[in-house]
Structure 1
């Protein structure tokens, strides 16, 4: 399919046929999935003849031919006489929308029960053959495994989408240039921030509006680290611990400060210095006290990712992560020597924190919290953390530090295992502290009573 994709792209560049309206800026010509192909074209006879000619050349090269009987053509605004000529000459008959793939319609709105009728009918047909049989438990399991799971439908992820939002360029959502990201950026975000969009705009798809309504929840987990400020909107993006400044200072904030509502952070920076209008309220003074601590640089702004430490530590408590000792139990010829210290076998108890490398990371972190003699044995350290009760914010800080240490040490181990790269213990410590400061900032924005105490706890001395 890569060869066919290249041939189609060369053909459209050579003017053999044209792009579908609205697709030229994105260079969107076709989508492939397994042996299925969607081609988006302008509605003309020349275009149909051109693309069929390319498919004919591909058939001579590969021996793979287009089955016209299984080919559907969807069009809009094409005259009836042209459709008749296309059908007479090429055998293509217009189909009606919506386009269905694996029983489900390809659409951006919420699927109704009527939309799912073909899929439900297929399930009922499959189950009908079992209706007259008395099934044992084994038979019911066979029904589930061989019949229901054998029905060809779109996977469950088709009904949902996980949103990872950062800034407009940093990639709503990330710098991964997927087709969906490029299309959303071009269609919806070409003139404003993701955070400033109206979730009731009829121009937006149902799915995009649903994503917009999740912004209030997403902001509590996101933060942007300012570099040159060129990728971050001053009023809309979550680059301060106060969240969106339009919410923090109110709708009159732009007029009171004299900073336009569509300003970038870079508009307030000159020669790496801040150019801020005078503060006129205690709230503005509080904001300025934070902003002036940021030192602008020449690097790009970047989203701060707060990893989920809990999952990693939970898996280690169950001893389910693939340490070398565990790998050796199901694979032969595995060198079980610890990748961090190179002295003993790599097991969970050794990694946390009996290993010379990891114990140094743990000691540095606990010394930061004024507990230089914290236990380094796995079982004893768990009991010590569990028994530590007061003050509550310090007990929470120790738990956060323990989870973050496990996460970063395991990340360092995998970095050495997969990439052959390594960091020193103090570098690991700086990574841990940075993430914990971001977590404390997120708790502050969320209004947690532990936000401010934890922020003070993790601040540099």
Structure 2
């Protein structure tokens, strides 16, 4: 069984053809019938060889900038139900433009669910701080390393963590002071600048991956050229 999401958009500048993770496959196509037909033919041939068939009921088609007869032709060709953006992929909401605050509701719900499952009355301040650092900010890490989170969402996260730590009492220490390093008198919790730091790290990783792939391609080309030169030398001998 194959479960896919087909997205038709202008993929030439992106140079992306597919994204795959375990049993989730996302395929990209140009916004024309010929390109979509080639994609569907490849899926059909793959099914004949492997025995894996496309599960239409669990697959979705997403389109951008396609209307009228062209859209009808593509829908008829794929026979895959059309869905709308934003949608979730690996737990992350994907959209064409900037995400609305409402798109982060599942993210906030996940944090409040964790807090609701803990018995605050039996936890010390040290225990609560460790849960915030290890669990709640661990949940944040995944999302904050992908998106620049709106200030409204970060403020709500801090509010949930602050209420969990102090309960109904008035905060004994400001959150800003708790985010200071331990050497500076804080508890090394994360503040809003963490989001920018994680995004910078992701961009750095992407840059290094691009350099590694480029270097690998150069090495492969040099290897092929060396092998070809060796064959010519042997033939000349």
What TM-score does the superposition give when structure 1 sets the normalisation length? Answer: 0.25
Query: Per residue, is there more helix in 1 or in 2?
Result: 2
Q: Which has the higher strand share?
A: 2
Larger RCO, structures 1/2 (Cα 8 Å, 6+ apart): 2
TM-score with structure 2 length normalisation?
0.44
